[in-house]
Each structure stands twice: as structure tokens, then as C-alpha cells.
Amino acid sequence: MTKTFVLMHGAWHGGWCWRPVAEILRSRGHKVTTPTQTGLGERRHLISGDLTLQTFIDDLVNHILAEDLVDITLVGHSFGGNAISGAAEEIPEHIDNLVYLDCTMLMGGEILLDKLPPGKIGERIAAMSETGNDIALPPPDPSAFGILEPGQAAWVQSRLTPHPISTMTSPLPIKRLPGNGLPARYIACTDPIYHQPGRIREWLTPMGWPVQELPTGHDAMITAPTDLAEVLDR
């Protein structure tokens, strides 16, 4: 059965990161789109200190509406999970189901930086200060995303772009639980672990979603595209 996938990237990335998975899904006859958020990837020239999570939600919603997409399997990776939570509330009639891929889950009104360990926040702010850029966080080394193979790491490193800090200090503007009651599941990447299992259980308890483990790094679309495509297709 042909499906429609919309694949939403995370922080520092762009639609480019989904290329291996998108090619596999398209080879199976599925429709796939991979939008890029404002200020990132090929839209890096649009970065500003005024971008918010609402901007990222608007990017995704407007993409879906402009492309006349319906019955969507909407996938959000990492920070991209917040945009799909917003889309689920704004245009639920376009979405068949949601997949949260190794996301840090936010509830309505929560801010990403408030969810990070204090040490991690300090590291990111210090990295931004070192670059002299007060609106964007520089990308970490690909190894932080579990990308250890040299060829993959070089490909990713050449494409990562600074991420607008304002999207991490603005609250998630949703009024209901993430997912808005639509069918949803969570995929946890476990080798190496990016999010501790205890934190994932804490985040997902209110929603009661099923959790599937994928034994690969945080950037599963890079490190295990075939396995991820198979999970998404199921």
C-alpha cells in the first residue's frame, strides 16, 4: 500500500539528512517529502534571532498544505518532534499517524533548554559565546549524534548549520498533549544511547504510546537508513 511520509529533521540538520531513508521509501512506491526549517540547511541564509517554535510549526504546516498532503505518516526527529506536535494540533485532518524518532519531548508551554541537564546547557551557551554569534548554537561534532563512520561523519559535518537559539528558548505553543490524540509511536535509538530510557518513560507516560528500540545512534537516518525505513514502513 502506497503511503505518504513527511520527514522532519532536528536541530542543526536540514531536509538533506533524510536522503538515504527517502530514497529507500520512494523505491518502494511511497511519496516522501523532506522540508527544511527556516534558518537551517539550504535555508541557512534566513537565520535570525526572531525565529520561534511557532515559526518551525508554520514551516511544516504550510509545507503540508501547499503540497496538498493527506493521510500522512508524519515523522519528527529529535528537536523536529516539537514541530510535528504543533502540526498535529493545527491540521490533524491531514495526518494519519505520528512517529517521534528519539525526540526530547516537550509539553505545551515547555522550553527545550529547561529540559536539558545544567551542564549541557552551559556547554551549548559557552560554544555559542566562543563563536561570537549571539543568535545561533554552533553544531556539535557528528559523533555526538552517534555517527562514527568517517565517510558518514564527513558528509554530515559538511552540511550541519548553526541552530537559532531562539527556537530553544521559546515555548512549545500547544494546548493539548503532544500528538493531539492521533495514533503515535516513539522510536528510541539505543546504540549509543542519546536519551536515557528512564527519561523516555517519564516523557511518554502521559501519552501511553508504544516504544520501539532501534540499535543505532541518534541520527538513525544516517547510520541505519535501511533499518529505519523498514520500521517506518511497518
The cell 508551554 sits on which residue? 109
Spatial neighbors of 105 by CB under 8 A, at least 6 apart, are 81, 178, 203, 204
In sequence order, the 6+-apart residues with CB closer than 8 A to the CB of 151 are none
Q: Smallest Cα–Cα separation from 101: which of 194, 176, 182, 181?
A: 194
User: Which secondary-structure segment (H or E) carries 124?
Assistant: helix 118-131
Question: Is 48 considered catalytic here?
Answer: no
| Phi, psi dihedrals of residue 41, rounded to the nearest 5° | 50, -135
Cell numbers that stand for 159 in this block: 552540511
Q: What is the DSSP letter of 1?
A: -
3-state DSSP assignment of residue 101: strand
* Cβ neighbours, 10 Å, residue 212: 12
> Active-site residue among 27, 78, 143, 166?
78
Active site residues: 78
